[in-house]
Amino acid sequence: MKYTATPLKDCWLITPQLIEDKRGSFMEAFQKESFTAQIGLVNFIQDNEAQSSYGVIRGLHFQEGSSAQAKLVRVLQGRIIDIVVDLRPSSTTYMQQFRIELSAENKQQLFVPKGFAHGYAVVSECATVLYKVDAPYAPKSEGGISPRDLQFSFDWEIPLEQQQINDRDLNWPKYVKA
């Protein structure tokens, strides 16, 4: 595995080593020992999988307090534009965002630490996204940033008229700095 620091503090891009031959391919998608050596101990407790069609934007979501979640995100099918925002007031990258294309082809994974908002847009015909989390979903601790929040000017690479966003995500109140 190759671990590359992103411009955001504690957020990592992980590229697995792909072994290919005439039979197909093989890769280690997660290896606890190398992950812990590079990033630290994260006790993932659940895998979530979502499938969506072109134009769907999910997020940006976060959980606060003791319910905050770290995530390890990868794409099993298709392509997404993945965006994270550092919401940790004590961080040197507070309120900054990072954007990357994750795909089944590039096999890259994004480690999103606790205290970040996370969302993605499907830019292929469809996409299947798998993400590990280290804390259960806690609806009362959930917050969000609208994918159209003007203070962030997110670039989803999808024309406005083709964006599919549910009402809850579209109507998060403007995010106010802590």
Residues with catalytic roles: 61, 131
Give dist(CA 120, CA 157) in Å, integer. 11
Nearest to 55 by CA among 165, 150, 166: 165
Give dist(CA 60, CA 175) in Å, integer. 11
Beta strands (DSSP E) in the chain are 2-5, 12-15, 19-21, 24-26, 46-53, 57-63, 71-77, 79-86, 97-103, 109-112, 116-122, 126-133, 142-144
Within 10 angstroms of residue 89's Cβ, the number of other Cβ atoms is 10
